[in-house]
Structure 1
Amino acid sequence: MKMKKMTEQIIQPELYDLLSLAAAADKIPAIYKEYVINKNRGLYAWMENENIVGCIGIELSGAGAAEICHLAVAPSCQRKGIAGNMIRRVCRLYHLQQLTAETDADAVGFYRSCGFAVSSLGEKYPGVERFFCKYIRHKGRRRDEAAD
């Protein structure tokens, strides 16, 4: 299992399919292009047996801070710890002390299980409640914990 930064100009079909789990299909080419050209963004693919089974896209927002913009795992590989492993790898790679994400009700439990503090943003879109998730790594502790 390895994580690979995506820098190719052409999006691979497996990656396109994964991003379509986290974004509208018609927006994926522009989203991918932004990851390739913007130095503050990074899109990483999680590889198993040379197949892309997960992806995480982040945007650096300051020293030691980033936002998860996209996070997806192939349905056949979900609930195997891949998303959590991608988050940990990105945190180590960029020496992140703070990581945030915005999500829907379906993913709140996942973020909480990874140590994120979760707060409601209310009904951001008609009939759709959104949530703000924030993870802060505390130095000097054996275990990372979330904070408000």
Structure 2
Amino acid sequence: MAVVLILIASLLLALNSVSQHAQSTSVALIGKKTLDKANYLRQHWELSGKPKYAEVDDHMLVFNNKGWPEPILNGIKSCSAWQMFLIAHSERPNPPIASRLVQQSDLYRCQYDFESGETLNVELNRNDLSIYVLNK
């Protein structure tokens, strides 16, 4: 009986580990797709003659002078703007559970926390866009 309980406990621990690894892989994929979407939007900006405003996928986007989308939605700077038009919608089964804003003079960073404990950072620093995942 004790052997069966030990085997069941071992199986549950292994399944938990696999689940955590899958969530971690999911956040890495979301980060890559977010970067791909940002590059797509910058390319759209270039091909459209470098406008300050452009409608893309039913969203009116504001671009900075380097072609990166600014986190502005309905005239208001917010992390929900980047979440709406940058973070891949196909990955919504693992959506961010919280977001935080860090704003300084030349820095605007949105930190999206996931259930796995990882954080997706999207930031404009001196008009340059960076997207990266921080592990717990």
Q: Which has the higher helix share?
A: 2
Report the TM-score when normalising by structure 2: 0.29
Question: Which protein shows a greater Rg?
Answer: 2
- Which protein has greater RCO, CA pairs closer than 8 Å, 6+ apart? 2
Larger relative strand fraction: 1
